[in-house]
Amino acid sequence: MNDAIPQAETASDTVGLAKSAGALAGLKVIDLTRVLGGPYCTMILSDHGAEVIKIEPPQGDEVREWGPPFLEQTDGNKAASYYLGVNRNKQSLALDLSKPEGRAVLMRLLEGADVLIENYKPGSMEKWGMGYDTLSEKFPRLIHCRVSGFGADGPLGALPGYDAIIQAMVGLMSINGDPSTGPIRMGTPIVDLATGLYSAIAILMALQERERSGRGQYCDMTLHDCGMALLHPQAPNYFLNGKQPKATGNPHPNISPYSKFRTRTCEIFVAAGNEPAFRKFCAFLGLDSLPADERFSSNGKRVENREALTAVLEARLADEDGHELCDRMLRAGLPAGPVMFVDEAMQAPHTAHREMVAQIGPFRALNTPIKLSRTPGGARAVPPAFNEHGESVLARHGFTEEEVAALKREGVLVESRR
């Protein structure tokens, strides 16, 4: 295990802990991000062994208060589920970077760092004399990833971005819902999460390229671009037919049947993505004559006659036990699943088998979906309390006790949230 990362002790109330040092062991990440996109990215890296030093501003990461629910932490304060969900495995150090002394500490921490990720407003780091051009001269191997709303330039350059606003602006909201609802925000902050994922990919690409060139580079990641990149198949449809994509609700815009249906016990989702699958689906349900019906004889015709097909299928499925039916369908090679609520999904047997819920004492969270054979990752330590590792991080980077005490007196090393 990476000695720099606090490790949870093995106990009966631990589940899903990392079983190796991780594929990214030895990687040092300085994390200046808050809220969701950036922290989600650095949690992915930390799950797989990277040492992530989370540098919080004096007021702390604001999502510490985005609850209820809350969990009691080691410092006696409560942390919201929103914070807990994306900040495990990290070390918290609170610095006031508005002070020159705080920026001097950051420069010392960057010695030997592989990655700096931040989500300050574009121009902030440059104003502090810590933009990529400056940092790359001192740290030529450093990968600097910036997460912002729209980037630094262009018509919307340097303007603030927020998940729901980007969902509205890039078209995601317009394709969610159905004609009766109008555009609806997606229930999960999909733009922030996608930006975190794309940022992790960008960082790993830059690290791979550094192996060849020996040089770091700048990763310019925006909510705008990452949100827009999710518009499949709506954007390709528009590029080809020139028509404005509409919200279709559960049905797939290009495939039928590919939607939700009512059964006696629950709603189920069925996906018949090609002609053989549709014929097999109909035979399974005893509807052998359906593929020969001119209205349903090809996917294109089924899309055009979606309502008529839905009426036939719902009449057939009305008396079925949806859970039992989906199990039989899956085992017959037919894509189908019951529509489950989040609490049901978290308690499902296969969720436990895949160790997708990690637990360390009272802390529970979704575990990493990345399963590696030789270097498996996972939960390593609970999310840190505010500045929980401040003194130990500084000591490990060569700060003397006298220097640490001076930083406390000057309000550079922040011990309690302001």
Return the active site residues: 192
Instruction: Work out the burial of residue 201: count CB atoms within 10 Å of its CB; fewer than 13 is exposed, 13-18 middle, 19 or more buried.
Output: middle
Q: How many CB atoms lie within 10 A of CB 219?
A: 20
Nearest to 369, CA basis, from 360, 359, 357: 357
The pair phi, psi for residue 64, each rounded to 5°, is -55, -25
Nearest to 261, CA basis, from 272, 253, 250: 250
Q: How many CB atoms lie within 10 A of CB 90?
A: 28
For residue 285, give both structure tokens. 């349900």
Strands 363-366 and 357-360 turn out to be antiparallel
Instruction: Work out the burial of residue 145: count CB atoms within 10 Å of its CB; fewer than 13 is exposed, 13-18 middle, 19 or more buried.
Output: buried
- Residue whose tokens read 């500490």: 105
Nearest to 386, CA basis, from 102, 139, 34, 13: 34
Distance from the Cα of residue 272 to its chain's centroid: 29
Report yes or no: 105 and 398 within 8 Å, Cβ to Cβ: no
SS3 for 58? Answer: coil
Instruction: Work out the burial of residue 294: count CB atoms within 10 Å of its CB; fewer than 13 is exposed, 13-18 middle, 19 or more buried.
Output: exposed
DSSP state of 345: H
Report yes or no: 89 and 27 within 8 Å, Cβ to Cβ: no
Which amino acid does the sequence have at 355?
E
SS3 for 347? Answer: coil
DSSP element (H, E) containing 118:
strand 115-118
- List the alpha helices (DSSP H) in 158-252: 163-170, 190-213, 223-228, 234-241
